[in-house]
Amino acid sequence: MLEPAENARTVRSWLRSCERNNKISRNTIAVGLVVLDRLTRSSPLKKEDLFSKGGELKGSRSGLPSLLESYGIPSKFLKEATTRQAHQDAQTLAEKLSYGRQLSRTAESRHQELSEAVSLLVGEAKKWLAKQPIRVNCDRHSSPSSWISSILDKARGRSGGVVEQHLVGAKLQKRHPGRTVLNQPSHAGDRQTGRSGDFPLESVSYHVTATDAKEAVQRCADNVQSGTYPVLLVPKEFLERARVRAELAGIADRVTILSIEDFITQNVIEISTEQKADFFSVLREIIDEYNRRLEEVETDMSLKIELV
């Protein structure tokens, strides 16, 4: 039985040997996971069990997104491993691990023996993802609403509400160019900073949340008590839940609750009409402002947005 640390050292050495220009490609990380997954499920294997006659790693195309997701890696990391070099890398790894001949014969033991090696590759995949901006494809024939939904879908589970907050801030700044819209780090709470909400403007206070608004509703209730009018913005999927919370808090008729998607979309349409510009140009202006605000107060630049 090989110790988990020994297999991890083998994979770490293999990764170093696969570097090109001091970088490890997504394809290499993906095929490495495919090899380890196959060896965990069944060992030992023959070369033909892992590779086609043409030398391509089986399972590196069809089914790859599902395999990645099973290890907690978003399917967007890579749809399929296509480079010839990656398949050669996979063969090298299989050889270094002796096609599993030194692994235990039970699946449970193999899983333990390869656990550190798998964690190493999962970590490399997440490092790669952390360095990439949120890239959103905007079909010019689609509606602004679909573009905003795509942005929030890409941010879901990745930003912890940072994207939602700064997107609304950017929209407010573009809608009110003559005013300075507050820009603070996402972790700066309302009570700690003394502000009435994420974006106080005159007698209105905007609250932005990426969740079901449990805490935000209480802040809205505080606004009502102090004479400030609250506007609560939540992702569309949490809209009804937020309204129920407002009803239970007794402020349903004292607060406006809107989806972030509709809130931004409406202004894209309004601004484009005023400027006689197309929808995509206006959205790009908002995203440029979003990226500027993000750079100003946040540290995670992987949350910048790139429209394509």
3-state secondary structure the chain: CCCHHHHHHHHHHHHHHCCECCECCHHHHHHHHHHHHHHHHCCCCCHHHHECCCCCECCCCCCHHHHHHHCCCCHHHCCCCCCHHHHHHHHHHHHHCHHHCCCCCCHHHHHHHHHHHHHHHHHHHHHHHHHCCEEECCCCCCCHHHHHHHHHHHHCCCCCCHHHHHHHHHHHHHHCCCCCCCCCCCCCCHHHHCCCCCEEECCEEEEECCCCCHHHHHHHHHHHHHCCEEEEEECHHHHHHHHHHHHHCCCCCCCEEEEHHHHHHHHHHHHHHHHCCCHHHHHHHHHHHHHHHHHHHCCCHHHCEEEC
- Would you state the pLDDT for residue 3? 80
Each as own residue / partner, the long-range contacts of residues 241-246 (CB below 8 Å, 24 or more positions apart, any chain) are 241/212, 241/213, 242/212, 242/213, 242/216, 242/217, 245/212, 245/213, 245/214, 245/217, 246/213, 246/217, 246/220
- Would you state the pLDDT for residue 189? 52
For 25-48, what is each residue's pLDDT tens digit? 999 999 999 999 999 999 999 999
- Would you state the pLDDT for residue 67? 95
Give residue 190's pLDDT band: very low, low, confident or very high (50, 70, 90). very low
This prediction's pTM: 0.61
Is the model's pLDDT at 194 over the cut of 60? no
- Would you state the pLDDT for residue 299? 75
Looking at the chain, the whole-number percentage of residues with pLDDT higher than 90 is 78
Sketch out the chain's domains with CATH numbers: 4-131 (no CATH), 134-307 (3.40.1350)
Query: Highest-confidence range of 72-81, 208-217, 253-262, by mean pLDDT?
Result: 253-262
For 44-61, what is each residue's pLDDT tens digit? 999 999 999 999 999 999
What tokens were used for 185? Answer: 């780090």
Is the model's pLDDT at 130 over the cut of 80? no
Looking at the chain, the whole-number percentage of residues with pLDDT higher than 70 is 96
Strand partners, 256: 231
Give residue 197's pLDDT band: very low, low, confident or very high (50, 70, 90). confident
For 200-255, what is each residue's pLDDT tens digit? 999 999 999 998 888 899 999 999 999 999 999 999 999 999 999 999 999 999 99
Question: b vs e for 87-110, b when ≥16 Cβ sit within 10 Å of the residue's Cβ?
Answer: bebbbbbbeebebbeebbeeeeeb
For 139-174, what is each residue's pLDDT tens digit? 999 999 999 999 999 888 777 899 999 999 999 999
Give residue 76's pLDDT band: very low, low, confident or very high (50, 70, 90). confident
Region 86-103: what's the mean pLDDT? Answer: 95
Residue type, 28: T
259 C-beta neighbours (distance < 10 Å), count? 20
Give residue 188's pLDDT band: very low, low, confident or very high (50, 70, 90). low
Give the whole-angstrom CA distance, residue 150 versus residue 145: 9
- Tokens 């050292």: give the residue: 9
- Would you state the pLDDT for residue 1? 58
Is the model's pLDDT at 185 over the cut of 70? yes
